[in-house]
Amino acid sequence: MAMNEPKQLSVQELIAQKSNRGLLAFTEKLIPKILLLIATVSVLTTIGIVFTLIFETITFFTEVNVLSFLTGTEWYPFANSTPTYGILPLIVGTLKITAIATFVAVPIGIATAIYLSEYASDRVRRIVKPVLEVLAGVPTIVYGFFALTFVTPILRSVFPEISIFNAISPGIVVGIMVIPMIASLSEDAMTSVPNAMRDGAYALGATKFEVAVKIVLPAALSGIVASIVLAISRAIGETMIVAVAAGSTPGFDWDVTGSIQTMTAYIVQVTTGDAGYGTTIYYSIYAVGFTLFLFTLFMNMLAQFISKRFREEY
Partner 1 sequence: MRYINHEEVASKTKKRLTKNTIFKGVFAAATTFGLIVLTILLYRIITQGSGYISLDFFTSFASRIPENSGIKAAIAGSIYLMLVVAPVSMFLGVGTAIYLEEYATKNRFNTFIKINISNLAGVPSVVFGLLGLTIFARFFDLGISILAAGLTMSLLILPIIIVASQEAIRAVPNELREASFAMGATKWQTILRVVLPASIPGILTGSILALSRAIGETAPLVVLGIPTILMFMPDGLLSTFTALPMQIFDWTKRPQVEFHDVAAGGIIVLMALLLFMNSIAVFIRNKYQNRY
- Subset of residues 288 to 307 that bind partner 1, contact rule: CB under 8 A: 289, 292-293, 296-297, 299-301, 304
Shortest Å, Cβ 82 to partner 1 = 26
Options 9, 13, 17, 19; binder of partner 1; rule CB under 8 A:
19
Q: Which position among 88, 120, 155, 225 is part of the footprint of partner 1 (CB under 8 A)?
A: 120
Task: Give the footprint of partner 1 on residues 187-206 (CB under 8 A).
Answer: none
- Within 244-283, the residues that bind partner 1 by CB under 8 A are 244, 264, 267-268, 271-272, 277
What residue type is 283 in one-letter code? Y
Q: Following CA atoms 182, 183, 189, 194 in sequence, which dihedral angle do they give, to the nearest 10 degrees?
A: 160
**Would you count residue 38 as binding partner 1 (CB under 8 A)?**
yes
Residue ranges in 137-156 that form contacts with partner 1 under rule CB under 8 A: 137-142, 144-146, 148-150
Q: Which is nearer to partner 1, 169 or 264 (CB)?
A: 264
Out of 9, 13, 17, 24, the only residue in the binding site for partner 1 (CB under 8 A) is 24
Q: Which of 131, 199, 218, 308 binds partner 1 (CB under 8 A)?
A: 131
Q: Report how far Cα 279 is from the mean position of its chain's Cα atoms.
A: 30
Dist CA 112 CA 180 (whole Å): 9
| Spatial separation of the C-alpha atoms in residues 246 and 260, rounded to whole Å | 6
Q: Which of 75, 165, 283, 286 binds partner 1 (CB under 8 A)?
A: 286
Residue 66 is given by DSSP the state: H
The yes or no reply on residue 18 touching partner 1 (CB under 8 A) is yes
Is the distance from CB of 283 to CB of 59 less than 8 angstroms?
Answer: yes
Dihedral sign for Cα atoms in the order 235, 236, 237, 238: positive
Closer CB to partner 1, 209 or 254, in the complex: 209
Integer Cα distance of 246 and 142 in angstroms: 15
What residues from 154 to 183 belong to the interface with partner 1 (CB under 8 A)? 176, 179-180, 183
Site for partner 1 in 49-78 (CB under 8 A): 49, 52-53, 56
- Gap between the Cα atoms of 262 and 41, Å rounded: 31
- Identify the burial level of 71 via C-beta atoms within 10 angstroms of its C-beta, where 0-12 means exposed, 13-18 middle and 19 or more buried: exposed
Note whether 226 binds partner 1 by CB under 8 A: no
* DSSP-assigned letter for residue 246: T
Query: How does DSSP classify residue 261?
Result: -
Among 132, 162, 168, 306, binds partner 1 (CB under 8 A): 132
